[in-house]
Structure 1
Amino acid sequence: MALPRVPAKHNTSGDHTAPSSSSSDSDSDSFPSLPSLQTLTLIPIPSSSSSSSSSSSLTSSSYAASFLHLTSFKPHLPSSTAAAALAASPSSLLLYSATATSLSIYDLNTLTPLESLPAVPRAGAVKSLVILPSGDDRIITAHQDGLLRLWRRSPRSGLHSLAGTLPTLSDRLRRLPFPSSYVPIRRHHRRLWVSHFDAVSAIAASGGLIYSVSWDKTLKIWRSSDLRCLESVTAHDDAVNAVAVAPDGTVYTGSADRRIRVWARAEGSPRHVLVATLDRHRSSVNALAINGSGSILYSGANDRSILVWEREESADHVVVVGSLRGHRKAVLCLACVKDLVLSGSSDRTVRIWRRGRERRDYMCLGVMDGHVSGVRSIVAVWIPPEKKKSNNDEEVHKVCSGSLDGEVRVWEVRVSGLRRSD
């Protein structure tokens, strides 16, 4: 199963970065427990609600929400190798599902499978999947074997094929002769700094760059135009499980060391430096998501909470303002679309959250269940008004959730009674 790494299960030594960015941590032996944080307003979901049926709805004084289970895609594979990583394209409405054995593409309009490609032999589980913003025709998958792989869609046939591996052969060859290109990974073992030496756990893409994090504790930055590795940073003291990038280029990494770290380019320098360490979770951080404007960060952890972080004028970075509670087990994945936040958990449910009228008022609009295993990947696509048959005051979203047994469930979520805040 492609579960996030938890503390005390990653024993490596040495500096894995060249160059390296560091800063002193403001660690504290004691910090406010989660119940003492500002509790965000939640609308409870009645325990008798039939969320496991094909559809359900919830109405509050401000919003009305409904969701409908449209279809499921189930792999004919052993569950131990079936956990799927998901990505969806808002422009083409294509859904990508990658496992240790295949890369499958589905049409979210017709809810039909389009293509299935065999996975690279011995690459291991796919931990993460991202569609590169430029042209919507390149996909990057992150693998257990420490490599990233590029898949390209043909403009003529629309079919996909494996197009390369990161780090590329040319990137490795140009660094081989130089001793400074090698970093220690364990005693008597050295490796090129452009390579991850453990599972690549998460990837993100923004502003012409690709960001990858790994259980080897590093963050690496790649240029998407030529796939060259530009930078490697020792990011955490334990395995890194999540990465998210704001529109302004600020990078957030979440780790099994319970911390979230904030990275940004120093003024006048292409290198990323540590801006802040956010230390409020009590267990491994598994998931990060950022809203469209980059002003709000959401983090999910094994402690079952989703912390909400917001930018404040008095701080150079985000500060915690509260927590979203409801999941009974670890939060494994998060996604943002418009003003919705979606969370998937080991408790086998997907929760729909929305920011309320007030600045820090949230409500849970629904709980979608039906998975028989933990939900480890979630993506959402907003359906623009010209593509949907509904009232203009209603938002419609396609939500796709992937579980550890490989099942992918597709939902339609409708929210009305809104004041749009794009």
Structure 2
Amino acid sequence: MFTTNDAESAIQIVFSGGLADGELRERATAYLNSLKASQEGWKFCVERFSPTAFPEVKFWCLQTLHEVVRAYYLQMDAQSQSTIKGALLTWLQRDCTVESAGALPPFLRNKLAQVLVSIVQLEYPAVWPTFFRDLISAAHQGPGLADMLCRVMVAVDEDIISLDIPRREEAKLSMHVKDSMRDRCIGDVAEAWYQLALAHRAARPQLAAFVLATAARYIHWIDIGLVANDRFMPLLLELMESPHSALRAAATDCVIEVVSKRMEPAAKVQLVASLKIVPACASWSRTLAAAVAAAASADGGGGAGGGGGGEGAAAAAMLEDEELISKVAKLLATMAGEVMDALKRVENSVISMQAVGFEVDDEAGSEATAVVDAASRLLEQLTPAVLQAFACGLEAVAMPLVPFINAYVARLKMLARRCWQRTPEARPTHA
């Protein structure tokens, strides 16, 4: 017979690491394994999670419930399934609010989210169709539950959507959940991301950053219009200027994901132009160059030209945030690279059609010309910004920009060859 005291003592022994005697740890592990394998194992977890004061015991309970759900949840009777789900939802509502005296620490919140998601994988949408909408509704009740919405969505991405090497059955479940989310709830989830980032950006910027970091995981497969619209994008551009570094970085990641989303060349060029962020990237490159120059001047002792004092301190502050600098450089590189790719794809498609004898009709030719012209105008604005940023000499900035610069140089060489081939009269003659 398993007793509460024995089980909790065994859990603490197992989690004590090298502090406990090896033989004692082996006996404790064997005891807990037998508890897990018994019919009483999951019931112990449900009953002891709330009363225990030990985080190790709470974690073991959640870990055991996760294993139970994955192993034989579908073979359990409806009452047992309901008991487990009810307990998880109670803990979420009661123990995950920041106002609660017994609020769970982050590692337990993550584990709770993982257990919930393991059930969602099996029950959404057939058995539990309201899960995501219920969670969204709860998220608006306070910052703690907004935080849990993010943790659950991260777990959905990691444990269902983006499995590295899924088994065949897991792959089928993953696709089913993903398709169901796309059809049923992802629009509501995206709206919640917008509302929560907007609501918490000033008072709780770290939470707003978590919301946007979560959103960035999903942008590559959801409808682009859920983020690239006249509400969400202005908010992201605003938050890229936030005084809070994590929020700036998360907003930048979201914009990178928007720009990187796969689409046809005409749509991609139109998207980049509609974001109205190209001038901001050019401004950022100028600011970075000025900061590098001011920092160098300050290091050299200032002087008449020099940027000491407050200016040097501001420059140093900007340069200290290397993660953000690298993210903005990645955004600049992504925008330039995506526009370049769209331009090449349109040009190559026209050339390929002509090479095999197909005529390009007037309408298609006009469309291709419009895309090429728009892409060329964007590159005319982006390329100087890329080169100015690259010239700053910062590795975190230069590395993301190298692929575009290589592609740009290759394009210039290709255009020179085409010009050479088309205008033989311009070639030099040799005596």
Q: If the length of structure 1 is used for normalisation, what is the TM-score?
A: 0.21
Larger radius of gyration: 2
**Between structures 1 and 2, the one with greater helix share:** 2
**Between structures 1 and 2, the one with greater strand share:** 1
